Amino acid sequence: MPETRIRTRLTRGAALVASVLGLVAIAAPASADLTLNNDQVLAVRQAVMRTNSAFNGLVGAQAKGQITIPPDQLKAIGEAWLRYGKLAPALFPAGSGMDKNPKSKAKPEIWSDAAGFKTKLDAYAKATSDFQAAASKGDAGPVKTATEEVGKACQGCHETYRAR
Ligand code: HEC
């Protein structure tokens, strides 16, 4: 099993994921390298993506008028999404794609077209940050616009970089 060494960025990232997802905190000094194997990287990445999907389902249902999310919970989703936007780049270390791990659907283009992938990461970071800003104020119109913007950022990345 090839091991992927990930530097401080993922140490911080993993702490964020752990706190956002309520997972067991990873005890590592801030300056230490964290070594995750391919399956562990994939587990974190897919867990983040499934949480993305759960958030999207909730805010999408609200945008359609099917549910009303209480303001404090909407804010919490915004804050978690803002963190995910910052964390996402650390979830794709080289060597963790579908060409190296058959359980992954991350296409090799993520690494061969790193500049293109970065535009998708940036779009996601912006959309999630805008969502957080809108959710913190709680006005329905801007929240709905930001919901659509996040949805486009998900799709925009998946259509090129995620295998079906
Ligand atoms: C910058 C690119 C990118 C963005 C933005 C992104 N995704 Fe993904 N997503 C991926 C890739 C790549 C995979 C495949 C990961 C793997 O299997 O290694 C994936 C996988 C998934 C999965 C499957 C997880 C599993 O258990 O296999 C879901 C669900 C998902 N994404 C939902 C979302 C939602 C909802 C959003 C937006 C709120 C989003 N994603 C934003 C790239 C992205």
Kindly report the protein residue whose alpha carbon is nearest to atom 21 of ligand 1.
Answer: 49
Kindly report the protein residue whose alpha carbon is nearest to atom 37 of ligand 1.
Answer: 154
pLDDT of residue 18: 46
Kindly report the protein residue whose alpha carbon is nearest to atom 38 of ligand 1.
Answer: 52
pLDDT of residue 10: 43
User: What number of CA atoms fall less than 13 Å from residue 88's CA on the CB side?
Assistant: 26
Atom of ligand 1 lying closest to residue 117 CA: 1
Number of DSSP helices (H) and strands (E) in the chain, helices first? 6, 2
Domains and CATH numbers, the chain: 42-161 (1.20.120.10)
pLDDT of residue 48: 97
User: Which residues surround ligand 1 with Cβ inside 6 Å?
Assistant: 42, 45-46, 49-50, 52-53, 56, 88, 104-106, 120-121, 124, 150, 153-154, 157-158, 161-162
As a whole-number percent, the residues of the chain with pLDDT over 70 amount to 79
Whole-number Cα distances in Å, 68 to 51, 62, 135, 145: 19, 6, 13, 16
Look up residue 163 and give its two tokens.
Answer: 């295998």
Report pTM.
Answer: 0.84
- The number of residues in the chain equals 164
Q: How many whole angstroms separate alpha carbon 105 and alpha carbon 108?
A: 9
Supply the mean pLDDT for the chain: 86
Q: How many whole angstroms separate alpha carbon 1 and alpha carbon 7?
A: 19
Q: What are phi and psi of 98, to 5 degrees?
A: -65, -20
Atom of ligand 1 lying closest to residue 47 CA: 26
Q: pLDDT-derived band of residue 23, with 50, 70 and 90 as boundaries?
A: very low
Q: pLDDT-derived band of residue 66, with 50, 70 and 90 as boundaries?
A: very high
